[in-house]
Amino acid sequence: MMSTRPDIGDILPDIALETPEGGKLSPSGFKGRKLVLFFYPKDDTPGCTTENKDFSALAGEFTEAGVALLGISKDPPKKHAKFIEKHALAAPLASDAEENGLADALGIWTEKTMYGRTYMGMERTTFLVDAEGRITRVWRKVKVKGHAEEVLAAARAL
């Protein structure tokens, strides 16, 4: 049942996401700039909060390196807005709540198991995309500690 997942060298699928303000945003809107998309399971959980704060702390450095940042989860836009406000996040967020959305197309909305229960969830994954929209690096099943710094180094090297 596992579909083929886009990988290094592939063009990032251009599927619209919703912004916390209720607008729409597509990966193609970043053409001409390098882009980091970090997908995470859920707003306001410990690992996801740390990851968002880490990327936010480095947001200025990503900007200086000519790299756009975007954090993505299935949380609704209103929840993102509260999450941003609560933690003063500088990294922009978008919602991928639609069925067959970007996470589905990338193969990272996947079956997970916890305490013997199976459910669908986001696999913490980060994509580095070049100015032409091509995936140049993928970090799968991300461990949060030190991740934002590693992604910044890779983005600078691109």
Helix spans in 10-105 (H): 46-57, 59-64, 77-87, 102-105
Residue from 124, 125, 135 nearest 158 by CA: 135
Residue type, 76: P
φ, ψ for residue 121, nearest 5 deg: -155, 170
Q: What per-residue string of b and e applies to 40-68 under the rule 16 or more CB within 10 Å gives b?
A: bbebeeeebbbbbbbbbebbeebeebebb
Catalytic residue list: 48
Torsional sign, CA 28, 96, 123, 142: positive
Q: Where are the alpha helices (DSSP H) in 88-140?
A: 102-105
